[in-house]
Structure 1
Amino acid sequence: MRFSKMRFILPMALSFASYATADCECGYSSSIGDSLKPYIFTDLIESDFLHIPNITLDTDWRRQQFNMSAAAGRGPYGMNYSIEQVTSNPILDENTWSGNGEFGVDPGVQLTVSGGDPANGFVQTAEMDSAREDLLWGTYRAAMKLTLTPGTCSAFFWYFNDSQEIDMEFLSSQFNADNNTFPVNLVLQSVQSVQAGYNAAVTGNYVVANLPFNPTTGYHEYRIDFIPGNVIFYADGQILAKMNSTAVPTSPGHMIITQWSNGNPLWSSGPPPQDAVISISYVKAYFNSSDSVRETALTRRCKDPSAANAICAIPDQMLAPNPEGTNGNVSASTYFFSNQKNETNNQTVYRKSEATKAATAGPLSSIPLFVVISVIAMILL
């Protein structure tokens, strides 16, 4: 979140002087769009799916199990979202970032849509959601390798409800390797789009951008920056589109990665002729939380925003983070704060020992959140 300059700087800083310090304790900063000043985000989720051995044990994510009827999905087929369609294919050596996974090519978490005509009228589909649902303004990033098999919709999106939703959707039937056409549908769902029958195109909050690469031959980072009144979409660090709108969500939500098909010729098409698989190598989210417990945690850990490394800059991924090929061990070895010794103190990141302490651990403080934020803002201005 980007904050305005406020007062009460010195008293707040002095009140925290007795506590031990840690890197990044006051948050993570990122340049958003064309902004000349960074925005600060206080919480993070980092998932290195190349090395998480089993997605079923990852407390940051929940595989989904539910049915959607053909009528509800607005297609000729229903969909059966099954946890069996979300599987791990890790690189077994934690010090290696390239090569095949344990079960073959395309390491990471794999989401599969089953191919062929479904015998029971329900296509077998896949989805996983972030466990945390307190995600507000932030920068949300996922590295994925998509499928060229026609007949599915793959999506990375932020979601509160059907009228507050930010989507990056990839329709494999639209991909054409012969002429290098690889569209991504950038969608901001709103009350207006719901009233128009879920048609964001009539609201001005829908853009089709052509990716400058083939998303099915390697991994690329897809990114959504979400700040008050603005949403910016990226691919490998390059801006694809900006949406400045009153339709930008104002409620907290969660992240979703999915691949589905219901045979709708106007969207997913399909079902695919054979199994269609997408692979996710990582998700990185840096955001402000709506959870009062997390807000309190910030006041406890942010002792002195003026201290060196109290606010850490988030590296931008400007190249494809691809674990495949001769340079995979370099390109896929992206930066994780949670892999560093002292940069996720009091955060809640799966499998990171110093980051799994209770959010309320540490001495109590009566300093309100807005004062902490005021000091952080003053440092950046």
Structure 2
Amino acid sequence: MNTLTNKRVLLGVTGGIAAYKSADLVRRLQDAGADVRVVMTRAAQEFITPLTMQALSGKPVHTELLDTQAEAAMGHIELARWADVILVAPASADFIAKLSHGEGSDLLSTLCLASKGLIAVAPAMNQAMWASPATQDNLALIAKRAVHIIGPAAGSQACGDVGMGRMLEPLAICEAVAGLFQAGSMTGRKVVITAGPTREAIDPVRYISNHSSGKMGYALAQAMAEAGAHTILVSGPTQLPVPERVTRINVESALEMAAQVEASVEGADVFIGAAAVADYRPANVAQQKLKKTEGMSNTIELVENPDIIRAVAERADRPITVGFAAETKDVQQYAASKLHAKKLDMIIANDVSQVGIGFNSDNNAVWVLRRKAPLNAHDAASGGSEASAALLEESIDQMSKAQLSRVLVTKIADFFKQAEAVK
């Protein structure tokens, strides 16, 4: 099973004889489905060449913090945002010391400072350096900051010593990195997600639609599957691959999506309406292609589509219901209004007019608005209790949609546990 499918792994290589294992590690990560990019310190380049790592990864290797060409294309901040996980293997004692003290003296340490994703280190050093109180203190400090420590192992070392400090084998490191994404916070739960646009037919060749790519909904489906949920994705037309361990149901129109949601949502614990559902559809669909007639203007009569997410929120067996709001101004105001009008528990809003986080982008920055307490069926029918009316707001800065999805899944899982405690 490709346990790192669609994950972005930034592999940092520091100086040490174990750097030769990093070449194999690139292949292991790719075989597991990861997209891998490599950053090398100057010391690492004394043990293995950037050309070798470039040939294996298929991508340029990043080596310099102040690289004019790199900054013009993908600067270090963008590279940090790109990564779902920064894996440093081997991680020397020197680099671990840098990490513990928050240094940004080279590209790799700067990336770790700038990243909001996962960070993991696979230590590799002499047994005496490993046992040093300074190293152990540094390890304890980075662990407290949620840096994952993978290994090391005991055994013979290149210097002739025997003891702790050998870097784990690449396959074991790869499996450990994959395990970082298996959160388990939604294990055994049923989650239904809508994603992508809908297409409302005008005639056999034309339709009304929007710019939604489906990337946010698909990323959420993948993150929910990683968290252990039985995930059903009701998707409008997209070019995206089916996320691993996710059941996808393909639809075209809003009516088809409404029907499939109704058929799928029974027994669901969470419903996430991430699709950009067309508000209206043509009242009449022409059976033949409409022809252009000079001197005449054609008028298309529109009728309102069903409100899918509100219908879910008003069910007697309603799940935790999460909506999305793609706005171009007054984002929080419109999002709060939509949350109350549609009787949602939580809404995720973003400004699609901003460059880099709009439709079709791989990144996003959002506001999360949620009720203070989950709604129950009675509250939803009456518009919400006084206790649930208060909103909690939180902004999440720009990051990849894959990273953002895991952050959102954690928040949704916590809210679900709150709802379970109330029952």
When normalised by structure 1's length, the TM-score is 0.25
Q: Which has the higher helix share?
A: 2
Q: Which has the higher strand share?
A: 1
When normalised by structure 2's length, the TM-score is 0.23
